[in-house]
């Protein structure tokens, strides 16, 4: 893409109504735009990042047998009345609305009920199980207080997977498989090192629920990390009992701030029972299926990456989710030799399928450098009189700041 055709502009200053670093940077760089408190539009560059994250998640969910669907945003209150989650006294962050005819509707804040009810017509025998269904879709939560930029919004994108099983053993096996899929997702988006499998409250069927917590000072949660075994315990469940359970003491744990990027938990028959998702087992007995649900905040993941990977000059995208691999910058006078050379390189990259953002704007070097740093593509390639004279290209790695001269073959080898 040519930067001259990108309608978004960068800003020197962050808007005063944002404090969260992720929102400040993403707005300054033109990745997102704020509509309301906790409600953000994704602009072209931001949307590319979001879609890349979604695709990684999609691949990993598919790899553990998940089948993708898209449930509706508009939700039928009857389902939630059956599970006692419609009443505002019970669930206080519904967005509710009504039909012209007078009937009520809810805007989906989670889809256990909808998925379970939808599957009733598709499950009748133990042979139909296990079943694993997911979606990547908008959720709406009427948060009393939205905060932290795109990390806790009122409208956000979430991947939610639900699995249903004939017995507990099968549930446990699958639960571990999904855990592995989550670990691969975090690895691929560049957060593997910083993300801890964490024991937390909220378990319905099992004692604990499990969270994926990414270390960050911007996090709302306090967790206790055990480096050696690479897991953590959420402060909310930390007590003598759990320490004994893991055979550790407080000395083995380090207190950290973290962002809850994922949450998985076993539901048992909490939803299948009231909604009638039953099957007949080998002995002809009718039983409710046993379920689990697995959530992953897509835009929260993006916000977390912006938060933990950026530096004082701007965003730093891991290669797998960067909007473009290369930021090609032409210096000198528009139409000059360097520009012509850059045009050629742009064409070469495009033909090779290398994702490139070409800064073909007629601006000074300083401004282009500042923008490149702010936008955060993994590689910056400079074409200028200087590089022409040396017969190569200047390649700068955004994350390390390492700069070197390379020839065309080397350059392509690195960025392809």
Interface residues toward RNA, by CB under 7 A: 9-20, 36-38, 85, 91-94, 109-110, 112, 141, 143-148, 152, 202, 220-221, 263, 265, 295, 313, 331-333, 364-367, 369-371, 373-374, 382, 384-387, 394, 396, 403
Residue 286 CB, nearest distance to RNA (Å)? Answer: 26
Is residue 284 classed as helix, strand or coil in its secondary structure?
coil
Rounded Cα distance between 370 and 416, Å, is 25
Rounded Cα distance between 108 and 339, Å, is 51
Q: Which tokens belong to 279? A: 């099957």
Residue 247 CB, nearest distance to RNA (Å)? Answer: 27
Give the CA-trace dihedral at 349, 350, 355, 359, to 10 degrees. 80
Residue 17 CB, nearest distance to RNA (Å)? Answer: 3
Residue 218 CB, nearest distance to RNA (Å)? Answer: 9
Phi and psi (nearest 5°) for 211?
-120, 155
Instruction: Check if the beta carbon of residue 189 is closer than 8 Å to that of residue 301.
Output: yes
Nearest-5° Cα angle at 402, 401 to 403: 115
From the list 351, 357, 344, the residue with the least C-alpha distance to 388 is: 344
Is residue 209 classed as helix, strand or coil in its secondary structure?
strand
User: Nearer to RNA by C-beta: 21 or 60?
Assistant: 21
Residue 83 CB, nearest distance to RNA (Å)? Answer: 10
User: Nearer to RNA by C-beta: 12 or 100?
Assistant: 12
User: Nearer to RNA by C-beta: 46 or 295?
Assistant: 295
User: Nearer to RNA by C-beta: 93 or 124?
Assistant: 93
Q: Which tokens belong to 8? A: 């978004």
User: Nearer to RNA by C-beta: 280 or 370?
Assistant: 370
User: Nearer to RNA by C-beta: 60 or 211?
Assistant: 211
Can the peptide bond before residue 218 be classed as cis, meaning omega within 30 degrees of 0? Answer: no
Kindly give the pairing relationship between strand 195-200 and strand 104-107: unpaired
Residue 196 CB, nearest distance to RNA (Å)? Answer: 17
């Amino acid at each position: 893409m040519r930067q001259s055709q990108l309608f978004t502009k960068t800003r020197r200053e962050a808007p005063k109504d944002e404090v969260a670093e992720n929102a400040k940077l993403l707005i300054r760089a033109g990745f997102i735009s704020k509509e309301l408190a906790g409600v953000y539009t994704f602009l072209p560059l931001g949307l590319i990042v979001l879609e890349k994250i979604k695709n990684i998640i999609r691949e990993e969910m598919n790899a553990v047998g998940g089948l993708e669907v898209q449930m509706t945003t508009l939700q039928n209150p009857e389902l939630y009345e059956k599970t006692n989650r419609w009443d505002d006294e019970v669930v206080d962050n519904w967005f509710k609305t009504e039909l012209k005819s007078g009937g009520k509707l809810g805007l989906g804040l989670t889809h256990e009920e909808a998925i379970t009810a939808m599957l009733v017509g598709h499950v009748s025998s133990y042979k139909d199980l296990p079943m694993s269904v997911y979606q990547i879709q908008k959720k709406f939560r009427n948060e009393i207080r939205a905060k932290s930029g795109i990390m806790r919004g009122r409208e956000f994108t979430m991947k939610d997977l639900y699995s249903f099983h004939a017995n507990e053993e099968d549930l446990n096996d699958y639960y571990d498989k999904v855990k592995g899929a989550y670990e691969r997702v975090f690895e691929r988006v560049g957060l593997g090192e910083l993300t801890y499998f964490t024991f937390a409250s909220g378990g319905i069927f099992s004692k604990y629920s499990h969270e994926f917590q990414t270390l960050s000072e911007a996090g709302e949660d306090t967790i206790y990390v055990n480096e050696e075994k690479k897991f953590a315990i959420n402060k909310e469940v930390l007590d003598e009992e759990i320490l004994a359970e893991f055979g550790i003491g407080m000395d083995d744990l380090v207190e950290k701030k973290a962002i809850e990027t994922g949450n998985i938990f076993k539901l048992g028959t909490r939803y299948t029972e009231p909604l009638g998702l039953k099957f007949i087992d080998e002995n002809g007995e009718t039983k409710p299926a046993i379920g689990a649900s697995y959530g992953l905040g897509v835009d929260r993941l993006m916000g977390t990456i912006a938060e933990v990977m950026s530096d004082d000059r701007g965003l730093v995208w891991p290669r797998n989710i960067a909007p473009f691999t290369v930021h090609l910058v032409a210096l000198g006078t528009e139409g000059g030799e360097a520009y012509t050379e850059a045009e050629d390189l742009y064409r070469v990259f495009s033909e090779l399928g290398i994702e490139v953002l070409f800064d073909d704007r007629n601006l000074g070097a300083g401004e282009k450098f500042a923008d490149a740093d702010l936008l955060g593509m993994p590689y910056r390639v400079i074409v200028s009189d200087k590089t022409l004279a040396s017969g190569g290209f200047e390649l700068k790695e955004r994350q390390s700041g390492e700069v070197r001269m390379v020839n065309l073959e080397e350059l392509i080898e690195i960025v392809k």
